[in-house]
């Protein structure tokens, strides 16, 4: 049996997991399901594409690093784009969610996020057209790893980046004052305020972090697959499945959930064919909600 599908599933799962960190943090700290989160992936990727093209035009050349299909322009652009995506999330909060937060209920916020998602996606199509774009059109050679599994250098880079980002995030949440404050607000906002936590500041940090990680996930998706305005929206269901499977509020849970969803999707393709791939995240979501609504690491239902 060829085990390649497991590797493919893990790579997709790592992407989903990275994106799901933002979903799980927004859900637990701002207490609503942000359906516009997928757009942060897409916007982050297009920010990166635009900046990287700009750098290429300014400094010339599109040199690559080692065996990777991309070079410093994409990496530097990606870091700037992560910041921009965080700011985009902040602006969206200021213009929309902050106004609804104090008077609306959760369902109003969710519906608003649906609207924001459509608007952001349409704007992206308007600016960049619906045509797929690529960071690089070079064909990358996959080389054998073990058990007949082959990976491209880009895919290995992606796995390593995900591991690093997740470890850094986990330590950040555990040890930094702002990470502690985020955990506190997620559990009990009133007690957090009494303890001196500025909840608005925590909310701003949540948007920045969620936006930046969404950008990272989007860029990696753009590198390994392609860039489309719908790339984030198409991942929305897997993102939520991963966040809920891992347990709302848990960073390691979101990533583990992402990996499970990714591998499950890839396995399903083997068994029932690619047509049903999209149904798998949905099935996982329903199963978790029925069997263990709190998720793997979750404490809340």
Give the interface size with other proteins as a residue count (CB under 8 A).
18
User: Measured from the CB atom, is 108 or 199 closer to other proteins?
Assistant: 199
226-285 binders of other proteins (CB under 8 A): none
Q: What x-and-dash track marks residues 64-103 binding other proteins by CB under 8 A?
A: ----------------------------------------
Distance from C-alpha of 45 to C-alpha of 14, rounded to nearest angstrom: 16
Q: Collect contacts of 53-62 with beta carbons under 8 A, ≥24 apart.
A: 62/136
Three-state DSSP state, 247: coil
Q: Which residues of 121-133 are buried (b: 16+ CB within 10 A; e: fewer)?
A: beebeeebeeeee
**Torsion angle of the four alpha carbons 12, 223, 78, 92, in this order, in degrees rounded to the nearest 10:** -60
What's the min distance (Å) between Cβ of 41 and other proteins? 29
Residue selected from 57, 58, 141, 194 as contacting other proteins according to rule CB under 8 A: 194
Min CB(173)–other proteins separation in Å: 11
**Binding to other proteins, residues 198-217 (CB under 8 A):** 198-199
Q: Which of 184, 223, 231, 242 binds other proteins (CB under 8 A)?
A: 184
Q: For other proteins, which is the closer residue by CB, 190 or 290?
A: 190
Please report whether residue 288 would count as binding other proteins according to CB under 8 A.
Answer: no
Which residue number, 66 or 177, has a Cβ lying nearer to other proteins? 177
Name the 3-class secondary structure at 78.
helix
Interior angle at CA 129, CA 153 and CA 8, nearest 5: 25
Decide if residue 106 touches other proteins (CB under 8 A): no
What DSSP string describes 130-145?
A: SS-B-S--PPPPPEEE
Q: How far is the C-alpha of 233 from the C-alpha of 140, rounded, in Å? A: 27
Q: Name the residue nearer to other proteins (CB basis): 11 or 197.
A: 197
CB of 281 to other proteins, least distance (A): 27
Among 188, 226, 276, 283, binds other proteins (CB under 8 A): 188
The residue among 138 and 200 lying less far from other proteins, judged by its C-beta, is 200
- Non-local (6+) Cβ contacts of 257 within 8 A are 16, 17, 20, 241, 242, 243, 244, 245, 246, 247, 295, 296
Out of 31, 101, 150, 180, the residue judged to bind other proteins by CB under 8 A? 180
DSSP string, 145-195: EETTEEE-HHHHHHHHHHHHHHHHHHHHHHHSHHHHHHHHHHH-HHHHHHT
Least distance CB 246 / other proteins (angstroms): 15
Q: For the window 149-178, what string marks contact with other proteins as x by the rule CB under 8 A?
A: ----------------------------x-
User: Could you tell me how many residues make up the chain?
Assistant: 301
Of 106, 167, 272, 299, which lies in the binding site for other proteins, with binding defined by CB under 8 A? 299
User: Closest CB to other proteins among 66 and 196?
Assistant: 196
| Lookup: tokens for 21 | 């960190």
Residue ranges binding other proteins (CB under 8 A): 177, 180-181, 183-184, 187-188, 190-199, 299
């Amino acid at each position: 049996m060829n085990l390649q599908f497991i590797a493919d599933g893990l790579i997709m799962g790592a992407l989903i997991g990275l994106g799901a960190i933002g979903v799980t943090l927004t859900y637990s700290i701002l207490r609503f399901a942000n359906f516009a989160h997928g757009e942060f992936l897409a916007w982050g990727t297009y920010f990166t594409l635009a900046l990287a093209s700009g750098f290429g035009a300014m400094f010339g050349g599109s040199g690559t690093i080692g065996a990777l299909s991309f070079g410093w322009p994409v990496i530097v652009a990606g870091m700037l784009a992560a910041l921009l995506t965080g700011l985009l999330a902040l602006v969206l909060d200021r213009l929309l969610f902050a106004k609804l937060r104090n008077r609306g209920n959760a369902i109003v916020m969710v519906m608003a996020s649906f609207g924001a998602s459509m608007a952001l996606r349409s704007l992206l199509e308007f600016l960049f057209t619906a045509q797929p774009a690529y960071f690089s059109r070079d064909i990358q050679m996959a080389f054998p790893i073990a058990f007949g599994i082959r990976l491209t250098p880009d895919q290995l880079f992606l796995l390593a980046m995900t591991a690093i980002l997740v470890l850094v995030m986990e330590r950040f949440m555990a040890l930094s004052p702002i990470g502690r404050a985020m955990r506190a607000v997620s559990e009990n906002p009133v007690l957090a305020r009494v303890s001196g936590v500025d909840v608005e500041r925590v909310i701003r940090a949540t948007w920045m972090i969620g936006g930046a990680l969404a950008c990272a996930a989007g860029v990696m998706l753009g590198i390994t697959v392609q860039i489309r305005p719908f790339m984030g929206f198409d991942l929305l269901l897997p993102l939520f499945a991963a966040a809920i499977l891992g347990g709302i509020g848990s960073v390691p849970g979101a990533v583990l959930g992402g990996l499970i969803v990714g591998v499950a999707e890839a396995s399903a393709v083997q068994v029932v064919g690619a047509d049903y791939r999209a149904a798998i995240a949905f099935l996982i979501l329903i199963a978790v909600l029925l069997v263990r609504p709190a998720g793997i690491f979750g404490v809340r239902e």
